[in-house]
Amino acid sequence: MPAAPSGPATSEMIPLTRDLTALRAHAKAMRRHVLRMAEIVGQGYVGQGLGIADVLAAVYFSELRTRPAEPTWPDRDRFVLSIGHYAIGLYAALAEAGIIPVEELSTYGADGSRLEMSAPETTTGVEMTGGSLGHGLTQSVGMALGLRLQGRDARVFNLLSDGECQEGSTWEAALAGAHHQLDHLIALIDCNNQQADGAPSKVMGIEPLHEKWAAFGWHTQRVNGHDFPALLAAFAQIRTTPGKPHAIVVDTLMGRGVKAFEEREKNHFIRVAPEEWSLANRQLEETA
Amino acid sequence: MTGNILTSDAAGAAKTETAPFGHALVRAGETDTRIVGLTADLGKYTDIHVFADKFPTRFFQMGMAEQSLIGAACGLARTGLVPFATTYCVFATRRAYDFIAIGAALGRANVKIIAGLPGLTTGYGGTHQGIEDLALMRSIPGLTVIDPCDAIETAQATAAIAQHDGPVYMRLLRGVVPVTLEADYKFEIGKARLLVDGADVAFISTGLMTTRALEAARTLAASGVKAAVLHVSTLKPFDRAAVAALLARVPRIVTAENHFITGGLASAVADLAVDERLPIHLKRVGIPDVFCESGSLPYLAERYGLTAAHLVSAAQEVLR
């Protein structure tokens, strides 16, 4: 299990921190990026991008060892996005981390841009093409097996969604992660309680998630995905729990940080009227 | 009956090799430490147990879970390894299609999918006979698709795809496998081989049907008919130059494949003839549009028209 970053590579890596003020500032900056991208295309997965910003800030700036100047560094920690349509959130994190240029965010969703609405792995910093749901954990298991076989001191973080827990392949991979004792594999299950056809409880019930992952042999925790101390405590507990893969169920609120969008949380794909963006930007700045 | 069902296609073959894929993978793995193996509860039945016995730490059992198998193979490839994932054709292509299409092919993962029981090489019925896998795999952009003929080619193709950078689907002849190609045969990805030349009629064949096409050509030769045999073991990328040259020279064509008659080799040949505006007389030999019965391999080959005698009849038909 890797300890805090050390060795000659440190200076080239994203500086990691447990300072709550710094992490909140990263999250705020990422939400600004999300709003800018969403405003340019006039619609999109702004709810998911805002909702996952705190979790991504915690991962990218307190846990993930990567080198912005060397995105294919073989010993990097992997962040694998299963849910391709959360790309807007991932691009915000990649820009904030210096892995892709901030200026490029203005091309999000444009014809010919590599910042497609669903993240393709040809884009710097994107480890896997997600979007066909249920793939991320299967590939993450393979990455974790490969990294361990090669003796690389790297971890694999997979962000999947509550809806993705309806895909059988997620549970095939869950079995494999536990069977192969991949304790450097971390599944973050985003529960925003919203999938394409509505709430999972209405579409196809998935709870109790904590008990399910635990029963599949995973060291499981469930935290509020907007509570930085809780997120950091969960990450800390992972480091002291060997022998099992780790699941963190993170409960999040779609649109978090923009009151108008939080109240519209029942939408998987939010449509926003042109005049609403200034209100959204104002609400974001007013949010603590 | 069970004995027949479990038997390989080697019954009556003059020369055979055991587990040519497994042994070839061990040889490749000895020099290339990037090679790893994995299976979905079919290690013993896909000959990869030979590799697993030799390199236990480089072999991963994924259980009866084909999506997980292919997904994990893609993940292993993304860490720089060269994974060989084995299961049966039916399970790889029917159950894990999206994982091959998106994880392996769209994602350009360097994975090798090795799939057993192609076509009518198992006596089990429609659940186990991979009759449409080539059609499914040919439809995926960027995937290399190979159907080897015998033990020699299986071994050579294993070595070749280990060196090749990109996703590959290869049909597997497992267990005791006949040796029917000449010792000097050289497999190359994407290259068809003219095994016999002849100007009257041409067999274009793939997989184990090439063995039967060679036998049919010998039978025809005895009655004075000169039949060519072009062996196309790589279905994709398709050797358009070699096939087009043959179609232009010998327009009476019989295709032969251990696969559904649509979507495989015959379709590739027909597409090419249309594209190149080559007037040909084509007779397609393959599995008809049905799920096949369970039964012994000789019975199935006879029942569904895949024997050398059927190829001779087809040739005579196009010669009329």
Taking only the tens place, the pLDDT of each residue in B246-275 is 999 999 999 999 999 999 999 999 999 999
Instruction: Compute the average pLDDT of residues A237-251.
Output: 97
> pLDDT tens digits, residue range A64-123?
999 999 999 999 999 999 999 999 999 999 999 999 999 999 999 999 999 999 999 999
Q: Please tell me the distance from the alpha carbon of residue B304 to that of residue B295, in angstroms, as a whole number.
A: 11
The topology under which CATH files domain B193-319 is Rossmann fold (3.40.50)
Tell me whether B161 touches chain A (CB under 8 Å): no
**Contact predicate A140/A156, CB 8 Å:** yes
CA atoms within 13 A on the CB side of A123: 30
Query: What is the mean predicted confidence (pLDDT) over A51-63?
Result: 98
pLDDT in tens, B29-82: 999 999 999 999 999 999 999 999 999 999 999 999 999 999 999 999 999 999
pLDDT value at residue A13: 85
Residue B281: enclosing H or E segment and its boundaries? strand B281-287
Residues 63-92 of B with CB under 8 A from A: 63, 65, 67-68, 70-81, 83
For the stretch B216-223, contacts whose Cβ atoms lie closer than 8 Å and that sit 24 or more positions apart, written own/partner, are: B216/B308, B216/B309, B216/B311, B216/B312, B216/B315, B219/B308, B219/B309, B219/B312, B220/B312, B220/B315
Would the ipTM clear 0.85, i.e. be above it? yes
- Residue B138 makes CB contacts below 8 A (sequence gap 6+) with B145, B235, B236, B263, B264, B268
Whole-number average pLDDT of chain B: 96
Q: Where are the domains of chain B?
A: 2-178, 193-319
What is the C-alpha separation between B194 and A43, in angstroms, rounded? 58
Cβ pair B74:A142 closer than 8 A: yes
Cβ neighbour number for residue B310 with a 10 Å cutoff: 18
Tokens of B150: 């015998």
Where is B72: in which H helix or E strand?
Answer: helix B66-78
For B98-115, what is the mean pLDDT?
97
Nearest by CB to A138, from B68, B81, B83: name it: B68
pLDDT single digits (tens) B156-211: 999 999 999 999 999 999 999 999 999 999 999 999 999 999 999 999 999 999 99
- pLDDT at residue B318 greater than cutoff 50: yes
pLDDT confidence band for A275 (50 / 70 / 90): confident
Closest C-alpha to B17, from B233, B176, B182: B176
Percent of chain A with pLDDT over 90: 83
- A137 to chain B: which residues are within 8 Å by CB? 71
The residue in chain B having the minimum alpha-carbon distance to the alpha carbon of residue A140 is B75
pLDDT grade for A9, boundaries at 50, 70 and 90: very low
**What's the per-residue H, E or C state across chain A?**
CCCCCCCHHHHHCCCCCCCHHHHHHHHHHHHHHHHHHHHHHCEECHHHHHHCHHHHHHHHHHCCCCCCCCCCCCCCCEEEECCHHHHHHHHHHHHHCCCCCHHHHHHCCCCCCCCCCCCCCCCCCCCCCCCCCCCHHHHHHHHHHHHHHCCCCCCEEEEEECHHHHCHHHHHHHHHHHHCCCCCEEEEEEECCCECCECHHHHCCCCCHHHHHHHCCCEEEEEECCCHHHHHHHHHHHHCCCCCCEEEEEECCCCCCCHHHHCCCCCCCEECCCCHHHHHHHHHHHCC
Q: Is the CB of residue A172 less than 8 Å away from at least one CB of chain B?
A: yes
A181–B contact, CB cutoff 8 A: no
The answer to whether A33 contacts chain B (CB < 8 Å) is no
Fold category of B2-178 in CATH: Rossmann fold (3.40.50)
Q: How is chain A split into domains, by residue range?
A: 18-286
Give the pLDDT confidence score for residue A266 in this predicted structure: 63
- Whether A139 has a pLDDT exceeding 90, the answer reads yes
pLDDT at A4: 44
Pick the CATH number of A18-286 from 3.90.1150.10, 1.20.1050.10, 1.20.58.220, 3.40.50.970: 3.40.50.970
Checking if the pLDDT of B229 tops 70, the result is yes
Query: Stretch B82-96: mean pLDDT, rounded?
Result: 98
Q: Is the pLDDT of residue B4 over 60?
A: no
- pLDDT band for position A287 (50/70/90)? confident
Q: Tell which wins on pLDDT, A277 or B141.
A: B141
Helix (H, G, I), strand (E, B) or coil at B241: helix
Percent of the residues in chain B that have a pLDDT greater than 70, as a whole number? 97
Given a cut of 50, whether residue A6 has pLDDT beyond it is no
Cβ pair B71:A138 closer than 8 A: yes
- The pLDDT tens digits for A200-225 are 999 999 999 999 999 999 999 999 99
